[in-house]
Amino acid sequence: QKEVEQNSGPLSVPEGAIASLNCTYSDRGSQSFFWYRQYSGKSPELIMSIYSNGDKEDGRFTAQLNKASQYVSLLIRDSQPSDSATYLCAGANTGNQFYFGTGTSLTVIP
């Protein structure tokens, strides 16, 4: 079983809509979670981190963590074509290893 599971998509949303990206994790002891964005041909870059249950907002991005359900999500409000990328969910497990999901490809349609 993979440490972190994501729906690979592709996910398409119209410009201005809310994009919802989801991720589940297997290690109940994992404490920290991250969302990275990777543009085609580029390296991943961190966009959000979340450590506590609940929501964390940063501009148009909101990360949500539910430890009871072992579920992490990322909401992108007012989606822009420049948000089109692959979004990688990552977490650190109890073995202090940092694992990435396979990523969800998002396309924002103008």
Partner 1 sequence: KAGVTQTPRYLIKTRGQQVTLSCSPISGHRSVSWYQQTPGQGLQFLFEYFSETQRNKGNFPGRFSGRQFSNSRSEMNVSTLELGDSALYLCASSLSLAEAGELFFGEGSRLTVL
Cβ(53)–Cβ(72) under 8 Å?
Answer: no
Q: How far apart are CA 9 and CA 70, in angstroms?
A: 20
**Cβ 44 to partner 1, closest distance in Å?**
5
Instruction: Please select the residue that binds partner 1; options are 63, 65, 76, 92, rule is CB under 8 A.
Output: 92
Q: Is the peptide bond before 44 cis (omega within 30 degrees of 0)?
A: no
**Cβ 97 to partner 1, closest distance in Å?**
5
Binding site for partner 1 (CB under 8 A): 32, 34, 36, 42-46, 49, 88, 92, 95-103
